Amino acid sequence: MDSGINMLCFSACYAIALALELLGLWRQIRLRRLVLFLAGASGLVAHTWYLGKRVAEMPAAPLASQQDWYILAAWALAAVYLVLKFYFPRSAMGLFMLPAVLVLIGVSRFTTTTPLATFQSPRIWGQVHGVLLMLGTVVVLMGFLAGLMYLIQSYRLKNKLPLTQSRFQLPSLEWLERMNSRSLGAATLLVGGGLLTGILSRLAQEGDQNFVPWTDPVVMSLAVMQLWLVVAEVFRLVYPAARQGRKVAYLTLAAFGFLMLVLAAVTLRDSLHTKGELGSVEAQVSPSTTNVLRGGLL
């Protein structure tokens, strides 16, 4: 039975929530926060329903295609937003998080719905790989947004701008710094785990495909990102000033830059694939290009 729930339904709910967040900056409206929370919650319910429907249609979903992958990442970010909104009802975090959710959904529209490569290696590795990288992406995004909020809040405090009297309220610097710091640590583990499971899934394949295509742009950008995350963590361990304040925020902003590179590489590669050009690329670059995308990025 077609439930009639499509991407437009939950996108519209998130857009309404974002509009209400924006409206809160200008005017005080009765029940605004309640309606905002309900709009966000409705969006998440519709979003969950949509993903459930995808799972029913295709057992490999919600990581069966690149589009699914983006939509699942958007779902995770929206869920985090709702939890944070519950704990910080007055904060304007939605102004940062909801656009990110909408961008992820928007980008998913331009990515392929073609199922990712046929599973030749144990399916579990592909799924773990996809989930870890999806969570890594969400965590890096969270760190990036917390970093942005930290820099804005720090600027407001330094310049003695109105804080609690203002309608634009953010969590405390201490909370944002903790969020930044933890997201960096968690991203290192998740992305590292994703990369490792991707490698393992490649090596577990039979025949002439059991090697890691290090020259592949996706693999290369992902490896560089992981390298950056490890270096950032070591930097934080060695240099105490990098454990707190603005430096952590800058590190998370840089991690976001690397994430953008990885996502651009993945999206670009797969758009070639959908145009039917992947076969030639596959032949030239690596014999296992489709498997690289299995369940995620590798």
Partner 1 sequence: MNLCMIGCSHKDAAIDVRQQLAFDNRQTLEALDCWRSKFPNSELALLATCNRVELYAAGATDSEELTGALLDYRNVSSKQVEGHLLTLNDSDVVRHLYRVTASLESMVVGEPQILAQVKQAYQSAQDVGSTGPLLHDLFQSALRTARRVAGETKLHKHRVSIPSVAIADLASCVFESFDDKHVLVIGAGEMAEETLRYLHDVGKPHVHVINRNAERGKKLASQWAGQYHPWSELWSQLVEADLAISTTSASEPVVTAEKYDELVTPRRHQRALCVLDLAVPRDFDATIADALGVYLYSLDDLAKVCTDNQSARAAELPKAEGIITQETRRFWVDANHRAAVPVISNLRQELERPKKAELERLFQKLPDLEEPVRREIEQFADRLVNKILHPPMESLRDASQEGTPHGLLDAVRRLFQLED
Find the shortest distance in angstroms from Cβ 250 to partner 1: 12
Q: Is 29 in the site for partner 1 (CB under 8 A)?
A: no
The only residue of 3, 6, 113, 172 in contact with partner 1, by rule CB under 8 A: 172
Closest CB to partner 1 among residues 90, 109: 90
Closest CB to partner 1 among residues 143, 192: 143
Find the shortest distance in angstroms from Cβ 223 to partner 1: 31
Q: Using CB under 8 A as the criterion, what x/- string covers residues 151-170 for binding partner 1? A: --x--xxx-x-xxxx-----
* Residue type (1 letter), 147: G
Most distant CA pair in the chain: distance in Å?
Answer: 66
Q: Is 33 in the site for partner 1 (CB under 8 A)?
A: no
Find the shortest distance in angstroms from Cβ 239 to partner 1: 8
CA-to-CA dists, residue 86 to 25, 114, 126, 226, angstroms: 19, 37, 34, 33
Q: Is 173 in the site for partner 1 (CB under 8 A)?
A: yes
d(CA 68, CA 61): 7
Q: Is 30 in the site for partner 1 (CB under 8 A)?
A: no
Whether 260 and 187 have beta carbons less than 8 Å apart is answered as: no
Give residues 237-266 in contact with partner 1 (rule: CB under 8 A).
240-241, 243-247
Find the shortest distance in angstroms from Cβ 23 to partner 1: 19
Closest CB to partner 1 among residues 53, 156: 156
Give residues 107-136 in contact with partner 1 (rule: CB under 8 A).
none
Contact residues for partner 1, defined by CB under 8 A: 153, 156-158, 160, 162-165, 171-175, 177-178, 240-241, 243-247
